[in-house]
Chain A
């Protein structure tokens, strides 16, 4: 009889698994915040382009409003850097 219920987990395997989990967590942090920023910026961006077409003096303000949500992904990037290193 072969006992399939137990598997031997060496220290190296645990460490490797932890490394993998860290990489996954970092990827999720950047990926999900990236999606969120993109989602937020898409609607602001289209409104901003519309407003700029109406009156090009508002370009500065439009650019400013468009880039506000991209802080989210920067935070994600920072968090993932802190996870990885």
Chain B
């Protein structure tokens, strides 16, 4: 909690003969995060080289590429097959040897045939396009060429053109412009060209074919339909192969990927001719299991050393794996979008997992919209696959529940108070209803809402600074600790001064205390002292930080978006209700006419579309604004991020087993 998993650095040293069994064991445990060995002559690594892939790696890779290319053709991914009965890897290896090349050649034959047919169709379509203009000219195609003293020219033109030299002319008017064909003597070419260049004449090429245009067109059409049938046949055959071999291919992919990964892992080790050294990190709780597994697999002929990381330099920072309670797990996706925490700083996931849904609820705060989003999140969780998507949907689910909760607090459904239709179940604890339309029930106290939002800002920013204090304290950066405490003191000092001067709703009213000096009362003076101490603390950290002081105000006010964005969503909802119900539907209900029914239907459409739009806006507004408050106002106070993601060597087998 608030802390990544503790990692221990392990050095695994063994002779080359043990490497294969050690690698298999490491892959099976799926806990060892390998630090890649780079050949830079590091101290103590003289004479070591980057390892060579194990025997058979090339063949395995070739097979894997074949399988991936077939999968690509079929547009299948192994993830889609998760949940089918697992296969034995030995049986898979057997099938690969026996069937893979046959399936590959079948598939490549079919795809080649298919793309050949597609190319041919394109050629024929081009021919058809070239021939069509000549359809209306009563000449056989053979008559267009083969003359010695006669030239032929054809083109598209909108009108008939007068040619001042002796010639044979065919013109056919058509919808998209007419077609003109001219036969003239060779010596008249210049004159003809001159005449044509002054008119909108667009020359087209004459097809080099024989016979009547109609016949040729019919021939090409029939060829195209024949080729289309061929393509359909190929598709059906491919689909059949996919049906028959899909699960096998997915299982092959997994098995081969595992083998390739194992065969190539020596590229990340340091090796000499006789030994190998694997350097990496393991979560401390997994060490014992891994150690005993390795010594069993190699008959004890391998050395596993735990390295005390404090002796090592900074560059060997441990990889970071979250350690959070179950309900906070999905929120890790949100923190990862920003950046993985570093190993030596506090992990804010737990806090975000509470604060993000809270803020989302405060912004959206509507029973109906929250309900719609909850149903949406639950439905999409069933339909979509993928780890990140699932996590984000789980976050959305929590956020929707929070929105429903705040909907009850605000007594709000589709932006309306239930009192608008004479349902008085409960009174809103905080109201944000507006006076729009005659059913309007409450007028929200906007100032109270804004101050309510600012309180969250004050608390969250204090929390952020406090976490920064902890982070800096751990590194013994005492001037930064003083600076961060200074920021907290400054902010609360300013608050005390404000409270001593003005009475604000939802805030302590300290104006009644007796004045002591310079018109300030005891709270004001305490505030002033805090401000001065805060300034000293900040200036000690870095005088340049002092120019950031206005951010106290701007960041606190930034939290007013919790109220403001929510209010704008309420306003949209109420306007939609007003237009649809009061302006379109209600006036018609008294006396229904045909036109009235049209109005009612239109009103229902406006109602549906308006609320659909507002749900989408609420999701965007609530999600992004709430996220932004975490990223900009909260994280910038303490969070650096940039930790290396923990990627253990190995993979969880979903489709195969040994």
Contact = CB atoms under 8 A, between A and B. Distances in A.
Contacts of B628: 63-64, 67, 70
Interface stretch (A3-11, A16-24, A35-43, A72-80): A72-80
Contacts of A70: 628
Interface stretch (B141-149, B376-384, B542-550, B563-571): B563-571
Contacts, number: 50
A64 B447 contact: no
A50 interface: no
B565 A71 contact: no
Secondary structure at the A interface, as helix, strand, loop or mixed, is helix
B350 to A, nearest CB: 19
Contact of B631 (A64, A75, A77, A78): A64
A9 B560 CA distance: 39
Secondary structure at the B interface, as helix, strand, loop or mixed, is helix
A47 interface: no
Contacts of A60: 337-339, 631
Interface string B621-633: 0001001100110
Contacts of A2: none
B446 interface: yes
Contact of A81 (B337, B557, B564, B631): B564
A78 B453 CA distance: 12
B560 A74 contact: yes
B554 interface: yes
Interface string B529-566: 00000000000000000000000001001101100110
Interface residues of B, number: 22
Contacts of A71: 554, 558, 561
A35 B632 CA distance: 22
B632 A64 contact: yes
Nearest to A59: B337
Nearest to A68: B632
24 contacts: A59-B337, A60-B337, A60-B338, A60-B631, A61-B338, A61-B339, A63-B627, A63-B628, A63-B631, A64-B632, A67-B628, A67-B632, A68-B632, A71-B554, A74-B564, A74-B565, A77-B564, A78-B557, A78-B560, A78-B564, A81-B567, A82-B447, A85-B443, A85-B446
Interface of A: 59-61, 63-64, 67-68, 70-71, 74-75, 77-78, 81-82, 84-85
